[in-house]
Chain A
Amino acid sequence: MARSPNGSDTTTAARRFVSTKVEIEGREETKIVELPAFEPEPWGEEVSLDIVGSRVHRMDALEKVTGRARYTADVRRPGMLFASILRSAVAHGRVTRLDLAPALALPGVRGAVGREHVDGIRVDGVQLFDQAIHYVGQPLVAIVADTQAIADHARRAIAIEVETVPHAVTAEQALAADAPRVRPHGNTTRQSPRVIKRGDVDAGLRDADVTVTREYRTPVALHTALETHGAVAEWVGERVTVWESTQGIFNTRSDLSDALEIPASNVRVIKEYMGGGFGAKNGASHATYVAVVAAKRLGRPVHCMADREGEQLDTGNRPATIQRVTLGAKRDGTLTAIRVEATIALGIGGWMAGPGKIYHEVYRCPNVHTSETFAYTNAGAMSSFRAPGHVEGAFGLECAMDALARALDMDPLALRQRNYADVDQGKDRPYSGKHLDECYAQGAERFGWDAARDRAAQTGTLRRGRGVATQIWGAGGGPPAYASVRLNSDGSVEVLTGSQDLGTGSRTIFAQIAAQALGARVEEVRTLLGDTGTLPYTGNSWGSMTTASVGPAVRLAAEEARGHLVEAAAEMLGAAPDDLETQDSMVFVRDHPNTSMTFADICEKLGDVMIMGHGSRGPNPENTAIAAFGAQFAEVEVDTETGQVRVLRIVSAHDSGRIVNPTLAESQLEGGIIQGIGYALFEQRAMDERLGVPLNPTMHDYKIPTMSDVPTIEAFCVESSDVVANHTGAKGLAEPPIIPTAPAIANAVADALGVEVSEIPLTPWRVLAAIAQAR
């Protein structure tokens, strides 16, 4: 179906390298990228594919169900030592005495890594093992021993004394007039407040018939991946191999290269399997540096994984926000103004993922003004967490939209449809593809949004309600990304790309794309990924970018390999290459299917002559916004006596372009929704503000959803293929499903009670307090 790359004109591009913009986790970066040698026929909606779009089983499932999948925590090397990190128990102050002698004297202890060994290595702007203390959980020193048990025991034997000074662990404390200084230059980022605006918000509010103003609060949420951050490092001479639980092998490599001032080519980073990332594992962490430095110093491989408490205290979080929101609208619901003042508690560092951006994106509105103040606090640094900023912002925006709908006495879905944005207003440019209208329509249909309410189900103290919320996320991916596809002498196929499979299914997705483009049986295709030492570059698996970034490169590599294979077959079959087709791992003459050879026959005949193709990801279209869209509908039951909220069902409709594997897509959507339920109902890092100590760095006290908390979930993607975005038509969908879940639930709770609860998680006491206040 796609034409042979060899038949196409490979010199159509006047320029070989072009500048292009790539959006990563909501930020835009300019990159100079290579144009692919040829552009294949796009897989548009009208193109029917048999392998892409099919429910192929997850390809690494066998390894995972048999315990054979080897994660970083499971890596064992000959002579390997284990490290244990001592962390600060106070929020602010300094170490006045650190005596390692009692620890080093224990049998089996091999050494320590301290401040003097890591000069210049900084994580989130803080010197590793800084003896000035900035937050609870800050690493102070590490002990290395023959076993983890000995290392942990020795760590507890360290004699330490500290002096404390006043701390600021919340944005309110950090921004108070007499606040203690958290960072040397002040308690806010230099860019604070970050103001983004279009139109004239004051004029828009004057034009409004109705305005609503609310204040929303969102908690610090913790990623709580089951596998903690960590690495195993092993040096040979000046070269180091690092097994790392990471979403970005190449980012980890460059972090290490920069920090250790060694060439990137001397650092090999391997990630075969990882136990969850969710945005927190995008480069080298404290544990990585400890493993690498300790292994160098002691001349033996070193294993360093954060323990669970360290993971919960110090490997990133979704920062807390306070959002003061004013919406203005005409009587018919047309938005005239959106104004937001937000405060974000970054912790000791991190980047500026704020809630403001989504307010500019979702609805048509000429006048939008967002102002975000990012405060440093004496707590673990934020990091990206599944749709950073948008999850927090969607809660404020979408709850405010429902407040507006109530003020207008309008159906909440109708209000959203009234303000449908056809273009990306921030930059006044079209979307590559947008089917949010179909998400609204099909989601409402499946949910029964227009159906009469079943008031009979409301008995005693139980009240039922329904809510809806919208999401947008820039899931278009982009360059650079590279892949190779090779055929082995038995006709089997390997995809080689330096990407990562976080449990998202990338291995399977790439194999499906390659099989489709090559005309191979998908069972014959394997994906090799996760090794900077042997595989071509791709970026981090973040920003819902992997399928849309790497997928097109894999497709091009497979198309090129197909071209070579067909030429070899033409020679063997005595046919013209253009007359040959490929399917089911066979090459055959069009209209003469009996004149054919299997891939295995061709490759066997070729012997050691190798069929191999290479592909790269081309630039995104100019002046075009690329995004994934979706709408979620929630039904809840609230017990007005206990304040308990139970989610009964979620219907989730998404537009992420062409779906490569519907089963994997459903798994991603369900997973995002379930994390969203946790964010809505249970999850919050509890902080003793007086002591500056997080109270729940465990998996029991930090409440993530269990199987009993899961409602009926109906998650699906509307039919589409976004070939303006890229030639596979696929966009990302890892982050989108978590964005609208919490506001859909909160809106359903408000619908059930007639009372708004404007702070999540919607704990029983918050619900009861809201009910009491309304009486």
Chain B
Amino acid sequence: MNLTVNGGAYDVDAPDDETLVVTLRERLELTGTKLVCGRGECGACTVLISEEGEPRHAVYSCLTLTVACEGQAITTIEGLADGDELHVVQRAFIEHDALQCGFCTPGQILAAVALIADAEHLTEDDVARGMSGNLCRCGTYPKIVRAILAAASDGT
């Protein structure tokens, strides 16, 4: 099957029961996408996905079958920046120290990108609700909220 990831086309031979996180990590060696719980509980495997011409939305790649992604464009953390030009959310995460160990960070950033794209005016409560599917054990949440609010206002 054909898979479009970060703008590149890949011909992958994934069995029907293979999840997208496994395809990304093991076949394409895009290990920025993290596998933590494997059952949609923590958000670390979040990636962006879109139908041709449609806006990107966030999915848990551990609950997404690869075979269901044919014809869709997938963005992983490795493909978020424009070359060396970081995405505004990546810059905000650095600026506000919105990461510690960094293992949840790719998922947090991609979930934040989708959240910002979907919302008109984000409040702190919107961010807390919108991001509650992404767990961080280091407890970086206060700084993530600040980073997302800053990125949202930068982007508008």
Contact string against B for A residues 666-688, beta-carbon threshold 8 Å, 1 for contact and 0 otherwise = 11101111110000000000000
Judge if A57 is at the interface, Cβ distance under 8 Å: yes
Residues of chain A within 8 A (CB-CB) of B129 are 708
Q: Is the CB of B22 within 8 A of A663?
A: no
Given contacts A67-B31, A706-B132, contact A58 B97 (CB under 8 A): yes
Q: Is the CB of A698 within 8 A of B128?
A: no
B44 nearest in chain A by CB position? A226
Residues of chain B within 8 A (CB-CB) of A198 are none
A100 CB, min distance to chain B CBs, angstroms: 24
A-to-B contact residues, CB < 8 Å: 57-58, 60-71, 73-74, 76, 147-149, 223-227, 273-276, 278, 307-308, 502-505, 663-664, 666-668, 670-675, 698-700, 704-708, 710, 713
Residues of chain B within 8 A (CB-CB) of A705 are 139, 141
| 8 Å CB contact of A706 from B39, B97, B99, B135 | B135
Which stretch, B53-61, B65-73, B88-96, touches the partner chain A? B88-96
| 8 Å CB contact of A671 from B26, B95, B140 | B140
Contact string against A for B residues 70-90, beta-carbon threshold 8 Å, 1 for contact and 0 otherwise = 000000111011000010001
Q: Is the CB of B101 within 8 A of A276?
A: yes
Residues of chain B within 8 A (CB-CB) of A275 are 34, 36, 101-104
Residues of chain B within 8 A (CB-CB) of A699 are 36-37, 41-42, 135
Q: Tell me the complex Cα distance, A63–B109, Å.
A: 13
Contact string against A for B residues 95-135, beta-carbon threshold 8 Å, 1 for contact and 0 otherwise = 10101111111100100000000000000000111011111
Q: Is the interface of A mostly helix, strand, loop or mixed?
A: loop
B27 nearest in chain A by CB position? A147
Q: Is the CB of A670 within 8 A of B139?
A: yes
A58 nearest in chain B by CB position? B97
Q: Is the CB of A66 within 8 A of B86?
A: yes
Q: Is the CB of A670 within 8 A of B143?
A: yes
Q: Tell me the complex Cα distance, A700–B132, Å.
A: 12
A674 nearest in chain B by CB position? B139
A340 CB, min distance to chain B CBs, angstroms: 30
Given contacts A226-B42, A502-B101, contact A67 B106 (CB under 8 A): yes
| 8 Å CB contact of A274 from B33, B101, B127 | B101
Q: Is the CB of B77 within 8 A of A57?
A: no
B43 CB, min distance to chain A CBs, angstroms: 10
| 8 Å CB contact of B100 from A73, A307, A671, A710 | A671
B46 CB, min distance to chain A CBs, angstroms: 12
| 8 Å CB contact of B138 from A66, A67, A671 | A671
User: Quick one: which of A68, A149, A226, A713 has the most chain B CB within 10 A?
Assistant: A226
A187 CB, min distance to chain B CBs, angstroms: 32
B133 nearest in chain A by CB position? A706
A707 CB, min distance to chain B CBs, angstroms: 5
4 further contact pairs, Cβ within 8 A, besides A66-B90, A149-B22: A149-B18, A226-B44, A227-B101, A706-B135
Q: Is the CB of B127 within 8 A of A707?
A: yes
B90 CB, min distance to chain A CBs, angstroms: 4
Q: Is the CB of B100 within 8 A of A225?
A: no
A144 CB, min distance to chain B CBs, angstroms: 16
Judge if B29 is at the interface, Cβ distance under 8 Å: yes
Residues of chain A within 8 A (CB-CB) of B36 are 226-227, 275, 308, 699
Residues of chain A within 8 A (CB-CB) of B99 are 58, 61, 64-65, 503
